[in-house]
Structure 1
């Protein structure tokens, strides 16, 4: 049992695969259509988003070198601002993860229905297909961190490389007239801001590589490298995919497309291209489910071992995995998935997805604030290093706050209430910890 607990099985590539696998989910397959109305300003929006995300990633990397405990944004928030803030960030981030498991599973079932049309007309079969995916992955994660991380790397490469190939080949085949025909918004600044806010949703999840630090080899070195290289790789991929789609499809067709990458692939290699994209989408969404589920098990385990979550989440099997943490996350994801197939609750479920995004960004913002705090207090840094670390952390924090503000008042309002709803749990576990100490 001790051997399983002390063995670190995640090197650079598995950690990189977790980060990239979390980011490259269902969102990339709709990005060209979403950004098409902004014309050339969409590319400017990518630049803003890329720089903001890099600043956030740098802040997380800064903390990863100093805090090597499992938990990622939760651990960094706790290190900077104490147990109470740490618990709040853990609570919100955990909820965002199991909601995301359900959301990406819905997307997986949607792509699966292209091969099994009966899923389009049978909510029951759709639910069974989705639940089957969740619980197969729960089993894999309960059984082995090695197996889960290997699966994550394989599925990440299986979706990343074909998408990159499509983008690069597509760039060679673009029609310049398609760019010329694109409509340009009247207000370039507003268009750039709107495009960058929309593009940010595709980067959610870059922070996940910091969560399983206890399973990573040399985490102070591996996690920063994997996180930053993951963000840079995905930025290049998204930019190339967007430009290729803009150049392969006429503007009007692109803006009205429900499957822009499939349409772009069809324009490039014929009808078979759409089938290939659908297969890649299945790989991408299943990989995204696994990444979210993995983090949804590891993060509350870290909080439980720190005495901030119920101890059940920290119990490990003989394989060294927090099985109950995965099982509870799987149950809650299954409930959220089932709600999606109940008439009248679809709108509510869509709102939960946006809420999931806000509650995921909050801990990242707090981690950037922790990096800012650490940089200000660092007595050993040279003047230049001190200035660099302070400025980048401040930019990352400001960008995260801007993204939260751009999510809408309702989302921020409910995210605040969600954090308050976790307070009884905090009171309970704190009391249990105090009684145990006495």
Structure 2
């Protein structure tokens, strides 16, 4: 847990911009908006409604278990990010704990590849929703590319612009989702409810509902995106852990109310099978007005996810470049705004590429997205292993945050993530193709990592880097 007597050194003055280095400007509010904003996407809004459509009120059981699993990875990332406060995040922790190969593979496959497909799907889904509500108003794919270009430019203008935007986006998004849930539960929607009460059989699936933990966990992945911002955070020893803990707690309460509220207005079978259940929910609750409410929710969710990704992932690449694990161009900072501009443009480019290839069919990436999401959970497993390895290698090292009840959260986290991976496929028929796709992604990243480490870095694959060497890097 947080130790107030330990601080990260050297101390930094609030708002100071150091030439050639990232500047300390982010407080608890900005970091909290990052942890919330990345997690709650349109994809999450859809998946949570599908889950409650399958299990009814019983979906609160896997949702609660997923929340506890999220706390385990938050404890691990908090301990690691404050012990090794570097923008490279997982790559920096893992090179010290396990070596360069797992560091590169876990970071690229678990974040860069996932973001490539997740952000593209989010933008395509936003374009689809807006054109369904306002048909013929906007040119084909103009919304997707317009939003991408806008937030790329805004992130190039500096971390303070990002923080202001992210706080506003996350606040509006949570308010809209809470408004939907409260209006539904209280019966104050403009349209009549299906029923004045929830189904009497609250958990028809029995113990089988535990299988849905794999679905529920997607509602909590991504809070650790605050960790690559540690070099730009004020009082990170306090703000980094609390931003993630408070963030997932707010998400748990918001998603729970939002999902349960849907049961009052939309038949369960439609929630479970609908491609756009949040559209059904909003229109059943508020009629035609609900369409505009949904546009606000979709716009803020997608923009918040995109804004956070364009801030955090470039910082990961910046840190990896400093570690020698990626192209040195990724560590270039702009003169006026101290932003890793090459990394920002790279993430924007890999986001826009799939949109061009897929056209207006966001369903085309669903399989690849699920496959890449497996790699995300593998990255969480690596994070837990990092904590265990570093506790053994550096037992006496001062840690600003210590995992409570160590190593129980790490062991439960590893087990829970493995179970979630096993049940990642929505149907047995899709399992082979999803795991094959995941294998291809991991195989390609692994091959590139081996070649880079051996031919460019000229380092061993699995030899941990001394901690002092990583902390001494400028």
TM normalised by structure 1 equals: 0.87
Between the aligned partners of 2:162 and 2:144, the Cα distance in structure 1 is: 18
RMSD: 2.8
Q: Contact between 1:355 and 1:414, CA under 8 Å: does it hold in 2? A: no
1:124-203 equivalences under 5 Å are 125-173=139-187, 175=195, 177-180=197-200, 184-185=204-205, 188-193=206-211, 195-203=212-220
Between the aligned partners of 1:338 and 1:380, the Cα distance in structure 2 is: 49
Partner of 1:76: 93
Q: Could you report, residue by residue, the CA deviation over 1:235-273 in whole angstroms, capped at 9, with x for unpaired residues?
A: 111111111112333434544544434444444444313
Match of 2:241 among 224, 231, 236: 224
Is residue 57 from structure 1 mapped to residue 74 from structure 2 by the alignment?
yes
Q: Could you report, residue by residue, the CA deviation over 1:87-132 in whole angstroms, capped at 9, with x for unpaired residues?
A: 2222222222233221211122122213431389xxxx43343222
Higher mean C-alpha deviation, range 256-265 or range 220-229 = 256-265
Partner of 1:114: 132
Between the aligned partners of 1:243 and 1:115, the Cα distance in structure 2 is: 25
Between the aligned partners of 1:109 and 1:306, the Cα distance in structure 2 is: 38
Partner of 2:443: 417
Between the aligned partners of 1:342 and 1:261, the Cα distance in structure 2 is: 19
1:306-345 equivalences under 5 Å are 306-318=323-335, 319-341=337-359
The alpha carbon displacement at 1:341 in A equals: 1.2
Is residue 370 from structure 1 mapped to residue 370 from structure 2 by the alignment?
no
Q: Could you report, residue by residue, the CA deviation over 1:258-313 in whole angstroms, capped at 9, with x for unpaired residues?
A: 44344444444443133212222111112111212222211111100111111011
Match of 1:426 among 453, 456, 459: 453
TM normalised by structure 2 equals: 0.81
Q: Could you report, residue by residue, the CA deviation over 1:174-229 in whole angstroms, capped at 9, with x for unpaired residues?
A: 745442378823xx223322x21111122221221112211111222211110111
Higher mean C-alpha deviation, range 238-247 or range 93-102 = 93-102
The alpha carbon displacement at 1:379 in A equals: 4.3
Between the aligned partners of 2:241 and 2:404, the Cα distance in structure 1 is: 20
The alpha carbon displacement at 1:393 in A equals: 1.4
CA 224–181 in structure 1, closer or farther in 2 if over 3 Å, else same:
closer
Q: Contact between 1:91 and 1:422, CA under 8 Å: does it hold in 2? A: no
Q: Contact between 2:76 and 2:403, CA under 8 Å: does it hold in 1? A: no
Gap runs ≥5 in structure 2: 1-16, 188-192, 425-430, 460-474
Between the aligned partners of 2:237 and 2:397, the Cα distance in structure 1 is: 18
Is residue 26 from structure 1 mapped to residue 47 from structure 2 by the alignment?
no
Gap runs ≥5 in structure 1: 433-438
Q: Contact between 2:23 and 2:231, CA under 8 Å: does it hold in 1? A: no
1:358-397 equivalences under 5 Å are 358-376=374-392, 378-379=395-396, 388-397=405-414
CA 252–331 in structure 1, closer or farther in 2 if over 3 Å, else same:
closer
CA 91–266 in structure 1, closer or farther in 2 if over 3 Å, else same:
closer
CA 341–264 in structure 1, closer or farther in 2 if over 3 Å, else same:
closer
The alpha carbon displacement at 1:368 in A equals: 1.3
Q: Contact between 2:322 and 2:328, CA under 8 Å: does it hold in 1? A: yes
CA 42–386 in structure 1, closer or farther in 2 if over 3 Å, else same:
closer
Q: How many residue pairs are counted as aligned between the two chains? A: 421
Between the aligned partners of 1:337 and 1:387, the Cα distance in structure 2 is: 43
Q: Contact between 1:68 and 1:220, CA under 8 Å: does it hold in 2? A: no
Between the aligned partners of 1:255 and 1:95, the Cα distance in structure 2 is: 28
Between the aligned partners of 2:173 and 2:445, the Cα distance in structure 1 is: 35
CA 421–112 in structure 1, closer or farther in 2 if over 3 Å, else same:
farther
Between the aligned partners of 1:256 and 1:94, the Cα distance in structure 2 is: 30
